Amino acid sequence: MKLTIILLVVAFLQVQAKGYSQMITLKQQNAQLEDVFVEIMKQTNSHFIYSPQMLKDAKPVDIDLTNVTMDEALSLCFEGQPLTYVIENNTVIVKMKELPPPPIKGKVLDEKGNPFPFVNIRIKGTTNGVACDDNGNFSINAKIGDILVISFLGYETQEIKITSLTDISVSLKVSISNLEEVVVVGYTMKKARELTGSVQTVNSKELNNSITTPDATSALKGRVTGVDIVNSNPYTAVKATVTVRGQGSFSGGVDPINGEFNDAFYVQTSPLIVIDGVVTQFTSIAQAVSIADIETITLLKDAASTAIYGSRAATGVILVTTKKGTGGKPRVNVTLTSGINYPNFGNVDLMNTSQWMQWTRDAASISWAQIPSYQTQFPNGYMDLWKNKMGGMVALFDTTSSFDWQKNIIKPGLLKRATVNLSGGNATSNYYIGFSTYNEGGNDFVSKYSQNSLRVKLESKFTKFLTVGMNVSGMFENQENPLVSAEGSMMNLPFYNPYKDGKTSDTTIMSTWRGPGTTAAAGPYRKTGNPFYDIKYNNSLVKNSNLMGSFWGKVNFTPWLYFTSTNTWSQYKSGSNNISDRRTVAGGFGQAQNMKGKLEVNTIQNDVFLTSNVLNFLKTFQKNHNVSVLAGQEYQYKHLLTTSATKFDVLEGERNLSAGATDTYSTNHIMATGNEREYLVYSLFGQADYDYKGIYIFSASVRRDASASYSREGRYKNFWSLSGGWAVSKEKFWEPIRDVVSFLKFRGSYGISGKDAGADFLNQTLYKRTGTNPPSDYLEKGNQGYYLYQLGNDKLTWETTNTTEAGVDIELFKGRVSANFSMYNKAGKDLIIRAQYTSISGIPAQYQNIGDLTNKGWELALKTINVIHKDFSWTTAFTMYHNTNRIDKIRPPASAEDVPVFATNATFWTYGYSGNFKVGESINDIKLVKFLRFENATGYPVFEHVSDTDGSKSEVVITPTSSFSNLLGNPASKQKIGTAMPKVQGGFINEFKYKNFGLGIIITYGFGSMVQSKAIINTIGNPYNTNWANYNPVVLTANQVYWKPGSPNNNKANVPGPGFQYATISGSQSSMTWIKGDAVKIANVRLSYDLPAKLLEKLKISSFQVVLSADNLKYFTNKNYIGADPEAVTYQGSGNDTGGSGRLNYNYGFAASPRRVNLTFNIGF
């Protein structure tokens, strides 16, 4: 039975197929449609159903067909007719075409209820679409049952089914899926879903919701991962230092502004900064762009993202995209901020007079107990020693009064910021004009900082094929800083008073301290400058300007092939004018040889021209194969001019080099030097990207750079990368769990980027002129000569960084949870250092590729939408980063005669440091003589000695008759006591919104580093040396205890106290003054309120927001930490004896970044 049914069905289908497959031949001219129907019925077994009334409006047809199907014949007959047809069971049913329905109209609004212009409206399943007008209105030809897809970049796409012909109102919300964002990567733009490298983007809203700062780099802290952002000085206008995925060089780097190669004292960690596609020489975003003009900041970290920049990308890349105009009515946005910077001392409190007097008595007690000669000289006890040392001081000064230098030196400062921007455009052109001004008064003395910027950005589509644009900006900075150390001034003795009668109500300020000493060098009660007097005359004025103009054109040859050319000129100028007035001690007043004032004037001018030309190909094949290819060329020319002049014998109040006097401090009144350099880089590069349905993604890039820094043989270098990604969640088998795991992508990359030395002639033998240190009459008498300064090295080659990375991007619950995790291996090869030769060789230095260094680590960025409701939302962002590095190779010297002091077979000695590194160690290791404890009975410090021969360990007690220097001369005794880089660091950000109220909290953290506490160092020392009169230490907390004779707490002693014993073993030589730098910081709290839409409509403005914010509110540190700010550490510098390089972690200790309270108004028109 079943077989019979199957055979009948097959037979029926064959009959049907035969009926439809009958071929027709028609040849008629001006024939009526009904006659054509009759002829078709003759040639087929078909039938027609129609009414004669339908055919009245039908047009005659001309038809000439041979052997075509009935369907093909009918299609031609009905073409252009008011009729249509359907075929059912070999019967043709003719019917009238339906009239098109009236257009569907509607309006699109944003989250605040404002009209949203230029939103895309498309009928789902078709290419039919329109865009909203200036007022958010749209009209589209659609019918009931159609689904409208409403979308705009950065907002959630909505789908609305048409159920009636009534007008539609739509409100778009900001997209919660970061994976749909378009990201600028290299010379292209991609969606985050398409990335195969490690990229993070921070938008303008996130920047504005961060700390108040003129430096956008500082606002990134806690928001991005894989970076170490440090503000090494808490005072005004100091820009943050950024290191991406660990220090990639031993030492050495070129200051991008003045062009000098600064050896180990300048470790270049700053990423390459690219502004609107233009490569710059700046080390800080704030040098060129106001934070108010920034649309997005994108951080590129792995080789897949950075290799396209070649020799400039080893330290990472920061892409800054500035704001641009959009179509529609002109928009004006105004931001006004006013705030107060409150001093922030952490737990640092300097001693008052009573505490200082007790400290000196403790010093006498400790010194008398530990030094036998004092016991002989003062047999009645330590108080006789104290009276002997302090008698003159007590007689000379009022040691019953106290002046609080700390709070009088560091005072509240005012902050003001204003920004205005105008933007708009139409279908073919857009414009953006932005102006901003930032003024801040520092907490230390009279420091002032101002930043003013102007940016004009235009874009115009001249024809269908040609678009041109310009981006012109100017940034102007002014700084005024006292030539008086704030920290040094805070350490003035508490009974010193800047006012003559010792009362703060007296307005007369002393020029020098009272004392029997007649000169600044005489003692013990020497004359020294009064900071409150000096700041009236001595200061440093710095003016920086940056002019930048980019002009670009884009030619569209076809929809899939276009060419862009960008040509940029920039000029950076910096000038400093430092005066030490003759009326002050710093200017020579009271000195045995009076210089009668000193003026230093320095200038830098850096002109750069860059042309970048790129051909782009983007095409989709067979709907699923997406291919993009680019090929480009760049040429950069840099001209650098620096001058420096020092003049003595300067008239009072003058800052001009020509303002001389008749006094003769030296015959060489003005000493001037200068430097002029030219620098060229030529590059070719290319990139290819392919993806299949967005599932399988591949990318490759290559760049070839040429630099004048190397010999002809080594001038060229190739850099390249390969990367791929697999979007598993787009596979069909993922469908059942897509509602839970909405996106999952695995990615991996490998590539080579590089680091150009950046300065010319590193491979050449150079000579330098003698007689450059004033004051001297050496040059004036013609006694000048030249000496060998640098030995050439034709084998010098590029530093390279080989980076391998694997990562995963995941999104859960349609964007409610998203995370990015990456692991990387960043291997630096052929790292350069200026090798110092032994003095007997007669050769000072030579640049060499000395070794290899690898950074390894992982990073995590997590975002969650915890609550999302009509009236309330709560989102969280969390970042965490871990990095370690290892010295992989230290190359031995080329020959026995060629032996730099550091280049032994086993050890790498960093230039300028007394520490040593070996293969397998980290360059961030802090290597010191390990302090163990204080002896309970004597208070003598006990250190650990390590044998250079067999590595055995023993304890060494330092007594008055033993030498700590013996331990310093023993390399093995310098052991790792910690690391300068935090083992983990990151941020935790929460954003809450209830109706029109918003609350944001930013927390940053770092764990696992060690910092050297200046606060503890200041408790060390002999107050009876010649410098005692300018030295006030910090009050220790309850967790710091120093040894004192007979004290019941001596078994708890953990820090050194005053006295000779500890002065000879200053904290930079041992672990005695190093403490854990663990810290959690409440960096920002922000409360905002937006006016309701109805009120805005009445006021005829588009937006109004008021914000109350506070920065740097609170630190939570290790219980033994004493200092103001564990994050305020040095990053590049000399004089540290730990052997560390890069992040040296010398903790300033006396003042942290100020606590700011700001009130801001954001108004849109």
Using DSSP, state whether 1033 is helix, strand or coil.
Answer: coil
Helix (H, G, I), strand (E, B) or coil at 154: coil
CA dist 1090 and 1101 (Å) reads 12
- The number of CA neighbours under 13 Å toward the Cβ of 984 is 8
Report how far residue 359's alpha carbon sits from residue 367's, in angstroms, rounded to the nearest whole number.
Answer: 12
Which residues, at least 6 apart from 823, have a Cβ–Cβ distance to it below 8 Å? Answer: 805, 806, 807, 857, 858
Position 715 scores a pLDDT of 79
| Token couple for 198 | 């490690």
Q: Which of 940, 943, 939 is nearest to 967 (CA)?
A: 943
Spatial strand order of the sheet with 147-151 comes to: 129-131, 120-123, 147-151, 158-161
The first and second tokens of residue 765, run together, are 């033998």
Q: Residue 337's pLDDT is what?
A: 95
Neighbours of 1165 (CB within 10 A): 15
74 SS3 class: helix
CA distance 392 to 407: 28
Helix/strand/coil (H/E/C) assignment for every residue in 641-695? EEEEEEEECECCCCCCCCCECCCCCCCCCEEEEEEEEEEEEEEEEEEEEEEECCC
Length of the chain equals 1165
8 A C-beta contact, residue 1011 and residue 220 = no
Tally of CB atoms within 10 A around 167: 11
Rounded to an integer, what distance in angstroms lies between the CA atom of residue 279 and that of residue 611?
Answer: 10
Cα 748 to chain centroid, rounded: 24
β-bridge pairing 137-140 and 147-151 = unpaired
Q: Which residues of the chain have pLDDT under 50?
A: 1-20, 176, 252-267, 501-507, 514-526, 663, 667-668, 772-782, 893-915, 1022-1029, 1063, 1131-1145
Q: What is the pLDDT of residue 77?
A: 86
Do 681 and 706 meet the contact criterion of CB atoms below 8 Å apart?
Answer: yes
Structural domains in the chain, sorted by start: 2-96 (3.55.50.30), 104-175 (2.60.40.1120), 931-974 (no CATH)
1001/1047 Cα distance (integer angstroms): 46
CA angle 292/296/299 to nearest 5° reads 125
- Report CA-CA distances (Å) from 471 to 276, 293, 548, 549, 608: 9, 12, 8, 6, 16
Task: Please answer whether residues 92 and 48 qualify as being in contact, where contact means their C-beta atoms are separated by less than 8 angstroms.
Answer: yes
Q: Which helix (H) or strand (E) holds 1061?
A: helix 1060-1063
- Residue-level pLDDT at 1125: 78
| Burial status of residue 572 (CB atoms within 10 A of its CB: 0-12, 13-18, 19 or more) | buried
Q: pLDDT, tens digit, for every residue of 113-139? A: 888 887 888 888 666 778 888 788 999
Q: Which own/partner contact pairs does 888-897 have at CB distance under 8 Å and 24+ positions apart?
A: 888/827, 888/851, 888/852, 888/853, 888/854, 888/919, 889/851, 889/852, 889/919, 890/850, 890/851, 890/917, 890/918, 890/919, 891/848, 891/849, 891/850, 891/851, 897/841
pLDDT at 696: 93
Residue 36 has phi, psi (to 5 degrees) of: -70, -40
Q: What does the pLDDT read at residue 774?
A: 39
pLDDT digits (tens, 9 = 90+) for 952-978: 999 988 877 777 777 766 777 888 888
Q: How far apart are CA 293 and CA 512, in angstroms?
A: 48
